[in-house]
A and B are shown apart, each in its own frame.
Chain A
Amino acid sequence: MNDWAAISEIAEKVRSGELKAIDLVKKSLSKIEETKDYNAIISTVEERALSRAAEIDKDPKGKLAGVPFIAKDNFLTLGGKTTAASNILKPFEAPYQATAIEKLEAEGAICVAKANLDAFAHGSSTENSDFFTTKNPHDQTRVPGGSSGGSAASVILDIAPFALGTDTGGSIRLPAAFCGAVGYKPTYGLVSRSGVVAMASSTDVIGPLTRIVEDTALVLDVMSGKDELDSTTIDKDKDGYSNLQSELSGKKIGIVKEYFEEGLEPGVKKAMDDAMEKLRKAGATLEEISMPSLPLALAVYYIICPAEVSSNLARYDGQRYGFSDESAQDLNESYFLSRSKGFGAEAKRRIMIGAHVLSSGFYDAYYKKAQTVRTKIINEFEEAFAKYDLLLGPTCPGVAFKIGEKANDPLQMYLTDIMTVAANISGNPAISVPAGMSENLPVGLQLIAPHRADRELLNAAKGFEEL
């Protein structure tokens, strides 16, 4: 069930005075209260949201006028805490906001609450949150996927029409697939990362989670583009990303053979077969393509990601912000105690793996080798996109798993990202769109496009959604 109209429609009605921003914020807050059992939300930004809504109602304007949204709690926001679901940032109040949040607010959107995640976005299920695990809206005994699990669950629980997530190895697309939402990972650099808690800087991207592709496109349109606070940002498409045209006829789609091999659940395979049949009927050309290096992407990722994590998490030292252990006798002990008590097990694992692969004597064998295999993967994508407009596969080989099922085996948890991670390594845009159900749980179809072909990718995804 969907309680919210399309975002453009809501904003139109707020601008015309037919809807009041304050009522939309209150509706969102009451949804949060009603769905508390799901643990999707860490905290609300109630006071600030209500006061912004009152301001907006005086003079409603903007593409997102009065539209409430949920931000993953690794986006710096004013009016409350930003924790990254970690104990070390539990007391942190951001002194400024993420560029993405600023851009959305400038168009009239209102951040209502902060969503749960795996602490520091390290995980695929929200079970690595230092606070609590979010439950899948379709089955409370299962995970919502991660790391943007609270964001995906928020959208499907009708808490707000859109939520923001971050995707470093699949963290938007995977929970979108597990919860039945649209999840978008833009081309690397399309959305500023300024003001978002850094994980692996060379693969981190920001994107929306929504019910429908059109909403994702509108939110992306507002958030994207160059930002002087993030020197890795690139220009947005000259046509922007709203006003999509459904495009499937004549599209050449490569079916990635390696994504249909061992481990694919039969229900997911069936959903993929159905989706491909629909695409063919809509006039797309589908052919199998082999990309033999893609299965290496996960190993590449689990070297590059921890390496960058170990560097990015070095700043949490208990001295300037965040948790600080008062019992320490001197500065050095304060570093050790603050970090040991403030970081959870997964952050510690990644910091130490990162320290290992970057350390003298191991650097060439691990880090440099991984970055070179990365080139091999990028080359395979380039070869594939010389022939095809899009690449297709499932977002995940299975549906949402049971809470606790993989929690005690970090490597099994990592393997959940096997099909999403390559697009992060290469920087290509990718989307997960709902593609039916398997045993009453949602299945996600993943489409990957060439660098900067975000608009074409969204057009195709909208076309698929309408089939």
Chain B
Amino acid sequence: MSKLSRDDVLKLALLSRLKLTDDEIERFRVELSSILEYVEKLNSVDVSGLEPTYQVTGLKNVMRKDEPVDYGYETEGLLKNAPAVKDNQFKVKRVL
């Protein structure tokens, strides 16, 4: 189960929006397989009767008042890191 094929790595790269070189594909195939083999030690652990824990605070439904809050963020500051901006909006390359 843990041994990844070249195609498995390519599928993961696609899901991850990563373009890998041939060297990277082989390197990650070996490395990811060894990491997965390690974590698969959990397969044999008996967890009958236990529920998963997704967070540890015990907090539930933390709400705030439905009112706008001014945190002082300015449009200029939020856009200054963008590679391209047009009319106060992020400009991206063509989609089609």
Contacts and interface: CB of A to CB of B under 8 A. Distances in A.
A328 B93 CA distance: 8
Nearest to B13: A352
Contacts of B96: 330
B47 A376 contact: yes
A169 interface: no
Nearest to A326: B83
Interface stretch (A2-10, A236-244, A334-342): A334-342
Contacts of A371: 52-54
Nearest to A341: B19
B82 A321 contact: yes
A372 interface: yes
A320 B81 contact: yes
Interface in B1-52: 1, 8-9, 12-13, 15-20, 24, 27-28, 31-32, 34-36, 38-43, 45, 47, 50-52
Nearest to A229: B71
Given A324-B83, A375-B53, A376-B45, A330 B18 contact: no
A320 B82 contact: yes
Contacts of A260: none
A355 B15 contact: yes
Interface in A325-382: 326, 328-337, 339-340, 343, 345, 348-349, 351-353, 355-357, 359, 365-366, 368-376, 378-379
Interface string B47-74: 1001111111101001010000101111
A234 interface: yes
Contacts of B77: 95-96
Contacts of A356: 8, 12, 32, 36
Contacts of A411: 31, 34-35, 38
A105 to B, nearest CB: 14
Contacts of B90: 319-320
Given A302-B39, A319-B90, A320-B81, A378 B74 contact: no
Given A348-B28, A349-B28, A339 B17 contact: yes
A331 B54 contact: no
A262 interface: no
A249 interface: no
Interface of A: 91-93, 95-96, 188-189, 202, 228-229, 231-232, 234, 293, 296, 299-300, 302-303, 310, 317-322, 324, 326, 328-337, 339-340, 343, 345, 348-349, 351-353, 355-357, 359, 365-366, 368-376, 378-379, 410-411, 414, 426-427, 451
The 6 closest A-B pairs by CB, nearest first: A427-B56, A95-B77, A371-B52, A321-B81, A324-B83, A231-B62
23 contacts: A95-B74, A202-B56, A229-B71, A234-B59, A299-B42, A317-B17, A319-B82, A324-B84, A331-B93, A336-B17, A337-B19, A345-B27, A349-B35, A351-B16, A352-B28, A366-B39, A369-B43, A369-B47, A372-B50, A376-B47, A379-B50, A411-B31, A414-B38
Given A339-B17, A352-B18, 5 more contacts: A96-B73, A234-B57, A330-B95, A352-B16, A369-B45
